[in-house]
Structure 1
Amino acid sequence: MAEHIHAQDNPFCASKPSLRTIRLVIAYDGSDFSGWQKQKNGRSVQEELEKALLIMHKHEVRVIGSARTDAGVHAMGQVAGFHTDIASIPADHFVPALNRLLPRDIRVLSSEEVKPDFHARFDASLRRYRYFMSCGMAPDPFVLRYTHFSPHYPSLSILNSMAFVVLGEHDFSTFASAQDKSESKCRFISESVFFLERALLVYQIAGNAFLWRQVRSLVGTFLELEKKAKNPCEAEVMMREVLESKDRSKAGPTAPACGLFLWNIEYGERVHGHPAKAV
């Protein structure tokens, strides 16, 4: 009599569990991190997330982020994606599941299932950053942790006359780190503005992508030129000359990392920059 072999007992019939793609929105205090990306020597946000996912999955899970923040830079809306073979956890339940395993300086704010070919970095159409400054009297130590302090109160009108200059597509070689390996230094900036929020001075900038340390270099240059310019018109001319020089030595000092936040990431049709890459 022939032996009956059920599919579930036959190793040749076994199928791999289907993978779901999960998108996370993450906030973190970057003060004690060497950056987003995994590094040989230093604590990273990506590594902490992958360690938590390893505990859940019992195997390694790769996490891809939308932007690679530097050491000391914070995030309110970093986006990351990963593939999971755990079918029993609803997509939105990855929030409490991961937060139980993550250190207190990283929080998952939301989780959802997305299309299988979603790529957190290549599919992003816009990245928005905010840089926070406390000016005048010395702030308390909690504010100091997340802002750049300046005893000088800069002129908002002069700052915005310079912020206007960087709108549109430009070659930002002046504001790129010497270690930036990007083939092209051209970037499209759709938002660039200074405003007051409570007692803080805030610079908001958004674009399709950014060069390494571009935002902090821009902020440092704005603050340095503001002290030299007599009025908004003069400041605009000075800023345009610095931008068009494509000379890193013409830029001001790079502003400290503590004031910079990756604010949020947008996804949708890419109006500027290269089309989304196929993965």
Structure 2
Amino acid sequence: MKRFRLNLAYDGTPYEGWQSQRTEARTIQDELEKALSRLLHQPINLVGAGRTDSGVHARSQTAHFDAVNTRMNGLAFQRGLNSLLPRSIRVLSCQEVSETFHARFSALARVYQYYLQPSEVILPWDRAWVTPAKIPPLATLNAMAHQLHGEQDFTTFSHAQDPSQSRSRFIYQATWFAWRDRVVFRIAGNAFLWRMVRSLVGTMLTFGSRPEPATRFAEALASRDRRMAGPTAPAEGLFLHKVVYHAHEFCL
């Protein structure tokens, strides 16, 4: 048996998220598993590093799969998959890795970026949230974002249906910055709750237009009460930017 690592990019707009739902819903995982099974003539179970929600995109998602009795190498898998997959999913690279590598459990951090487009006009192939209101100053947004660093209980920014037993997550970086004609929120953490990043974005944008936003945000975070959060930002602006691993885990 051989284990392979995939590096993927996708437009999440036409999909009901990453994870297979065992229903008629179209998912990224289902599309990839169908293509892999056609190439290998065997059932394939794909494991992803991050289970992106419905409509969320990825610039660099990582996944792994195991294949029995195959002579195909990484380049052959990349070319074969890209010939079978819809254009909304692309395999950026594929390589054989050690059987100890696990796309989800070997990951040190996931990095998400949320893109805001202040202009009312966005190119058809771009993905960002065209915000209906004026975006608060970066200094105001960062005064809230910097409170997220370290280990925190994110119950306030969790979804009621999130199955996670613990709401605590460790955040390595949380910052807002300008990029080209957009405003971007970048957050890196060991893991994230369901819709957590979108809830954070929506809350910071809402609080940023009110008096004492940093104080209000700190109170909401400490409350562990979902009713204290602002509205959840839409999925269209959110990207899984990259997944971070130990370099030696890719070595055979």
Deviations 1:107-154 (A, max 9, x none): 00011111112211111110000000011x3123426x5111124132
State the SS of the aligned residue for 2:13. Answer: helix
Q: Could you tell me which amino acid in structure 2 is paired with residue 266 of structure 1?
A: V
1:1-279 alignment, distance < 5 Å? 19-39=1-21, 40-135=23-118, 137-142=119-124, 146-150=127-131, 151-229=133-211, 234-268=212-246
Higher-Rg member (1/2)? 1
State the SS of the aligned residue for 2:75. Answer: helix
CA–CA separation in structure 2 for the residues paired with 1:259 and 1:125: 24
Q: Give the direction of change, closer, same or farther, for the CA distance of 1:33–1:218 in structure 2 (3 Å limit).
A: same
CA–CA separation in structure 2 for the residues paired with 1:124 and 1:153: 33
Q: Structure 2: where are the runs of 5+ without partners?
A: 248-252
What is residue 7 of structure 1 aligned with on the other side? none
CA–CA separation in structure 1 for the residues paired with 2:25 and 2:70: 33
**In the TM superposition, what is the alpha-carbon distance from 1:41 to its structure 2 partner?**
2.8
State the SS of the aligned residue for 1:215. Answer: helix
Q: Could you tell me which amino acid in structure 1 is paired with residue 85 of structure 2?
A: L
CA–CA separation in structure 1 for the residues paired with 2:27 and 2:245: 25
Q: How many residues align?
A: 245
The answer as to whether partners of 2:40 and 2:70 remain within 8 angstroms in 1 is: no
CA–CA separation in structure 2 for the residues paired with 1:106 and 1:171: 34
State the SS of the aligned residue for 2:209. Answer: helix
State the SS of the aligned residue for 1:142. Answer: coil
Deviations 1:139-182 (A, max 9, x none): 23426x51111241321110000000111111000000000111
Q: TM-score w.r.t. structure 2 length? A: 0.94
The answer as to whether partners of 2:173 and 2:188 remain within 8 angstroms in 1 is: yes
State the SS of the aligned residue for 1:223. Answer: helix
CA–CA separation in structure 2 for the residues paired with 1:149 and 1:199: 12
Q: Could you tell me which amino acid in structure 2 is paired with residue 53 of structure 1?
A: L
Q: Could you tell me which amino acid in structure 2 is paired with residue 242 of structure 1?
A: A
CA–CA separation in structure 2 for the residues paired with 1:238 and 1:88: 58
RMSD (Å), alpha carbons? 1.3
State the SS of the aligned residue for 2:103. Answer: coil
**In the TM superposition, what is the alpha-carbon distance from 1:88 to its structure 2 partner?**
2.2
State the SS of the aligned residue for 2:42. Answer: coil
Q: Could you tell me which amino acid in structure 2 is paired with residue 73 of structure 1?
A: V
State the SS of the aligned residue for 1:32. Answer: coil
CA–CA separation in structure 1 for the residues paired with 2:16 and 2:236: 12
State the SS of the aligned residue for 2:151. Answer: strand
CA–CA separation in structure 2 for the residues paired with 1:124 and 1:37: 18
CA–CA separation in structure 1 for the residues paired with 2:220 and 2:75: 47
CA–CA separation in structure 2 for the residues paired with 1:156 and 1:124: 30
The answer as to whether partners of 2:202 and 2:232 remain within 8 angstroms in 1 is: yes
CA–CA separation in structure 2 for the residues paired with 1:58 and 1:20: 15
Identity over aligned pairs, percent: 45
State the SS of the aligned residue for 2:91. Answer: strand
**In the TM superposition, what is the alpha-carbon distance from 1:86 to its structure 2 partner?**
4.6
